[in-house]
């Protein structure tokens, strides 16, 4: 993979097989009492792909992400990641399989610094216990150096050098979104799941985020699932788009096909034949 602006070692040092991210969602059903959130939804994501999931409010987009990442357990259907079934696993177990995510509502610790929030994600890769940590042995020091190097590379990539020591709670909303992306990347995910990463951002902040995501996908080969309401962003960066409406998949295809799809137009604008 071509290196852009100093490719972090977590991407430069991995082999293609270690970045494999094949996701398959088969006939998922999810109910909340009498409300059907997802109905017979199928989805596939291939390694290196940037796939977007769109739909009106309440279409089931976040519910689908929550099933993939273990926060919801579907009543029916199966989910496979790299050939292994992950249906029903807990979120921390799915994270260890290589799926990292950001959230529609920011889930950061406001009283901790940017670096501290990102460092929390590295707990997955800590190979020492309390005893070694308490004496700060040489092996612990070496491991800590590696964790810090990875985080500093990500901070450089996301252009957060000036805020690395600031409390997250003191940052504007758009920068908090960037920190959350950095924390997700610190998990070294094979599959990165982003739930409305552009929400609440200014135009300039959106342009920066688009640049980061395109570079992640094109230069680093990062596989991405994106849920987003900003159609200009979705249409400009997606390789493939899946459309949900009232919990059902109504369309799937490349951006140029989706934006002219009659069912998609109807879902967003209503039945224009009656106007």
Indicate whether 193 belongs to any domain: yes
Confidence (pLDDT) at 137: 58
Indicate whether 137 belongs to any domain: no
Give the structural domain span for 203.
9-107+188-274
Q: How many whole angstroms separate alpha carbon 240 and alpha carbon 167? A: 37
How many degrees, rounded to 5, is the angle at CA 32 between CA 31 and CA 37? 50
Confidence (pLDDT) at 158: 95
Confidence (pLDDT) at 219: 86
Confidence (pLDDT) at 274: 43
Confidence (pLDDT) at 128: 58
Confidence (pLDDT) at 3: 41
Q: How many whole angstroms separate alpha carbon 118 and alpha carbon 124? A: 12
DSSP letter at 209 equals H
Q: Per the confidence metrics, is the pTM higher than 0.75?
A: yes
How far is CA 33 from its chain centroid?
A: 28
Indicate whether 170 belongs to any domain: no
Q: Which residues of the chain have pLDDT under 70?
A: 1-16, 127-141, 269-275
Domain count, the chain: 1
Q: How many whole angstroms separate alpha carbon 135 and alpha carbon 7? A: 33
Indicate whether 55 belongs to any domain: yes
Indicate whether 31 belongs to any domain: yes
Indicate whether 143 belongs to any domain: no
Confidence (pLDDT) at 59: 94
Question: Residue 15: which CATH number?
Answer: 3.40.50.300
What six digits make up the tokens of 244?
């949900």
Indicate whether 52 belongs to any domain: yes
According to DSSP H, which parts of 28-106 are helical? 61-68, 91-97
206 and 198 in contact (C-beta within 8 Å)? yes
What six digits make up the tokens of 103?
């959230």
Among candidate residues 227, 239, 168, the one with its CA nearest the CA of residue 199? 227
4 and 215 in contact (C-beta within 8 Å)? yes
Indicate whether 124 belongs to any domain: no
């Amino acid at each position: 993979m071509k290196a852009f602006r100093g490719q972090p070692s977590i991407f430069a040092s991995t082999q293609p097989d270690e970045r494999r991210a094949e996701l398959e969602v088969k006939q998922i059903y999810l109910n909340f009492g009498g409300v059907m959130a997802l109905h017979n939804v199928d989805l596939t994501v291939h390694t290196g792909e940037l796939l977007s999931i769109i739909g009106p409010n309440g279409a089931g987009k976040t519910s689908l992400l929550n099933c993939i990442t273990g926060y919801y357990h579907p009543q029916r259907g199966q989910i496979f990641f790299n050939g292994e079934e992950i249906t029903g696993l807990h979120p921390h177990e799915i994270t260890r399989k290589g799926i990292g995510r950001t959230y529609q509502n920011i889930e950061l610790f406001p009283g901790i610094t940017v670096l501290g929030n990102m460092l929390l994600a590295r707990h997955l890769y800590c190979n020492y216990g309390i005893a070694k940590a308490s004496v700060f042995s040489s092996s612990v020091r070496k491991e800590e150096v590696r964790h810090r190097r990875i985080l500093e590379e990500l901070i450089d990539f996301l252009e957060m050098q000036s805020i690395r020591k600031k409390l997250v709670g003191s940052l504007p909303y758009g920068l908090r979104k960037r920190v959350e992306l950095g924390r997700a990347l610190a998990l070294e995910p094979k599959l990165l799941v982003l739930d409305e990463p552009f929400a609440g951002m200014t135009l300039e902040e959106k342009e920066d985020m688009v640049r980061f995501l395109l570079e992640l996908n094109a230069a680093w080969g990062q596989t991405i699932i994106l849920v987003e309401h900003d159609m200009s962003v979705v249409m400009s960066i997606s390789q493939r788009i899946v459309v949900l409406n009232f919990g059902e998949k109504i369309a799937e295809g490349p951006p140029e096909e989706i934006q002219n799809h009659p069912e998609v137009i109807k879902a967003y604008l209503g039945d224009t034949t009656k106007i």
